[in-house]
Amino acid sequence: MPDYPIISKGLGKLTPGVWARLMRMLQSYESSSPRDERAPKRPATSNYFLAEITKAKVVAVQDENDCDDTSYGKVYKFIYAWREVQIDGQDAYTATYTEGVCKTSTYAGDEFYYPAMNALEIRNECDYATGIHISGGAYLATFYPLPFGGATSTNLTDLAEDDEVELRHDLITVVHAMPDEQGTMRYLFAHMMQHDGGCET
């Protein structure tokens, strides 16, 4: 709560008594409303659009220095490159990216300059990927948590942080643009990770 000044000098009809009432009104308003009007403004409210997810980049991998059970070294968090698409026509079951018209995560040649996050991966840990115990005995050693859009299991072995992963499908989803607590615009979608890999006999 800010300090409210005591103004002892008047200015015409704005007497010290009027200033005091204004300060009490301001204090009452800011006390009942959970905000300080002098605080920095956040960006415009969230919006959403259709986007094609085009590539993934590794954010976190099971590591012997960080995880209790690292028998598999699975990747469990990604960020995603994307480009906005628009539905083609009233009767068309297609969507198109139009350069210069649609938004994209790419800037200055960096496909991940404005990356998207999968909200369901945020709480992933070393042992769990969207609720599946990836280091448990029932989870096949040849299986991997897959990024949204899928990938071959060979694309997910021996990966390290910041490695890029080519997706099997450029899937389309709804992406929400929303500010984080510092006011920076972030891009999020929410989909369960797939799990796939080789067969065991």
| pLDDT for position 45 | 55
Give the integer Cα–Cα distance in Å for 163 and 199: 25
Closest alpha carbon to 55 in 79, 72, 22, 24: 79
CB 136 within 8 A of CB 120: no
For 14, 34, 41, 46, the CA distances from 4, given in Å and listed in that order, are 16, 17, 21, 33
| pLDDT for position 42 | 47
State pLDDT tens for residues 67-93.
Answer: 877 667 888 899 999 999 998 887 788
Q: What is the DSSP string of 105-146?
A: S-BTTBTTSS-EEEGGGTT--SSEETTEETTSTTS-TTEEEE
| pLDDT for position 107 | 93
CB 188 within 8 A of CB 78: no
Closest alpha carbon to 168 in 148, 144, 190: 148
List the chain domain ranges. Answer: 1-39, 47-197
Q: How many helices (H) and strands (E) does the chain have?
A: 1, 12
| pLDDT for position 46 | 59
Angle at the Cα of 26 from the Cα atoms of 25 and 31, rounded to 5 degrees: 100
Q: What parts of the chain have a pLDDT lower than 50?
A: 1, 34, 36, 38-39, 42-43
| pLDDT for position 14 | 78
Q: What is the DSSP string of 55-70?
A: EEEEEEE--TTT-S--
Closest alpha carbon to 51 in 78, 79, 81: 81
| pLDDT for position 1 | 43
Give the integer Cα–Cα distance in Å for 4 and 30: 11
CB 174 within 8 A of CB 50: yes
Three-state DSSP at 29 gives helix
| pLDDT for position 197 | 77
Angle at the Cα of 199 from the Cα atoms of 194 and 200, rounded to 5 degrees: 125
The C-alpha torsion from 169 through 171 and 177 to 180, rounded to 10°, is -40
Q: What is the pTM of this model?
A: 0.73
